[in-house]
Amino acid sequence: MKCDFCSKQTPPGRGIIFVRRDDKIFRFCSSKCERNWGMKRKPQRRTWSAKPKE
């Protein structure tokens, strides 16, 4: 699985899965990524994130 915020690989059985009402699934490697995603922060501005700048 790959984290939807920082693009880090997580082993099966680990991490957090968030399912929105429209059945879209978001996978996170840690609560840190989940909180930042929930606060609508951009991963490109985080130095620890692996997402490339667009």
As given in the structure block, the two tokens for residue 38 are 């929930």
Question: Helical H runs in 1-54?
Answer: 31-38
Task: Please provide the DSSP assignment of 18-53 as one string.
Answer: EE-TTS-EEEESSHHHHHHHHTT--GGG-TT--PPP
Domain hosting residue 22, numbered range: 1-45
Mean pLDDT by 10 residues, the chain (54 residues): 91 94 96 94 84 62
Domain with 32 in it: what CATH number? Answer: 2.30.170.20
54 in any annotated domain: no
Please state the length of the chain.
54
Any residues with CB less than 8 A from the CB of 37 and at least 6 apart, and which? 4, 5, 26, 28
Say what the pTM is: 0.81
- The pLDDT value given to residue 23: 95
For the chain, the domain total comes to: 1
The SS3 assignment for 50 reads coil
- The pLDDT value given to residue 49: 82
